[in-house]
Amino acid sequence: MDLSSRTGERAIYRKDRGAFGKPKPISKWGALELAVRYDSAENTSQSLNADPCRTGTSKCQVEVITLGANWYVRQGLRFMLNYYFTEAAIGNTGVGTPNRTDSPSVIWFRTQLSF
């Protein structure tokens, strides 16, 4: 199985590692890889006393959509940019208090140099 990048390179699936390998850029501009991911975590029946989500609330539920781009400038050098859309429902702090929600967004950039 392989995964094509946006610029024509291929990333080969490595069964021994259980992951896709990195594409090797074939042009002077490198290789571009786009990604989308959805994550969800939920605990809707927690005890206020147990507080496993460390929010001091009746529940915690988080959904995250990630949009990302990886630019493989050359073999061994990669720039990564991700944007996270987040929706967090963190319940209430006791009887008669309103449920709370939060919608933080994050832009994240990093560089990877491998040799």
Please report whether residue 30 resides in a domain: yes
* pTM flag (> 0.85): no
Please report whether residue 6 resides in a domain: no
Please report whether residue 49 resides in a domain: yes
Number of domains in the chain: 1
Residue 65 identity: I
Please report whether residue 71 resides in a domain: yes
78: which strand partners? 72, 112
pLDDT in tens, 67-104: 999 999 988 899 999 999 998 877 666 677 767 778 88
Please report whether residue 76 resides in a domain: yes
Please report whether residue 4 resides in a domain: no
Cα angle at 75 between 73 and 76, to 5 degrees? 95
Alpha carbon 112 to its chain's center: 16
Please report whether residue 65 resides in a domain: yes
Please report whether residue 69 resides in a domain: yes
Domain assignment of residue 108, given as a range: 26-113
Q: Given this model, what pLDDT does residue 1 score?
A: 42
Mean pLDDT on 44-71:
73
Alpha carbon 99 to its chain's center: 26
CA-CA distance, 23 to 36, in Å (whole number)? 18
